[in-house]
Amino acid sequence: MSSARLVLASASPRRRELLDQLGVHYSCHPADLDETRAPGEAPADYVQRMAREKAQAVATQYPGPATVVLAADTTVQIDDDVLGKPRDHFDGLAMLARLSGRSHSVMTAVCLHSGGRISCELVETQVEFIQLSRDVCESYLATDEPWDKAGGYGIQGLAGAFVRAIHGSYSNVVGLPLGETWQLLRAHGIATRLDPTDA
């Protein structure tokens, strides 16, 4: 394994918790970018562009080969529309009503910037919600949970009770697909707790 330093280009507590599960040593340097989706931009293209731009933006702060930057971006897609973080109560209510009783797609792009090159993986998971009443949506929006999350919900919290079925990576829905992230880290010599050579 290399002695490269890993920087996570995110302030997300969920991504930090998932990286911690892998036993990775890293520091955080969130990227500050305009995250506006371009007109007509496909959701898969959008999420990959955002992860790539985050990785590049933070990598410019750490010139040289000694630092590897990991960036990710997650989006919720339904009917070809991208659901970001709710702007306010009514926006959150509209999102939950739209997701209620239906399946939607959660896509995360993970990018690793190392030595001037970027490697990316795109992971998609299908999530199906039960039917949600207005009262249940209001109760959920009265918590702190929905407001900093794409689609207005967190599967690892109370909203886990809304999920009827999930097809694909659970950690992807949380915000960082662990299998693909681990493989990217291994390919770039970043040690995890799963590597027997990690001293």
Token output for 106? 């959660």
**Which member of 45, 73, 88, 198 is catalytic?**
73
**What sign for the dihedral angle of Cα 80, 85, 90, 94?**
positive
Task: State yes or no: is 73 an active-site residue.
Answer: yes
* Distance of alpha carbon 198 from alpha carbon 110, whole angstroms: 23
> Are 112 and 140 within 8 A, CB to CB?
no
Residue found by looking up tokens 């500050």 in the block = 32
DSSP structure string for the chain: ---PEEEE----HHHHHHHHHHT--EEE-------PPPTT--HHHHHHHHHHHHHHHHHTTS-STTEEEEEEEEEEEETTEEE-S-SSHHHHHHHHHHHTTSEEEEEEEEEEEETTEEEEEEEEEEEEEPP--HHHHHHHHTSSSSTTSGGG--TTTGGGGGEEEEES-HHHHHT--HHHHHHHHHHTT---TT-TT--
Active site residues: 73
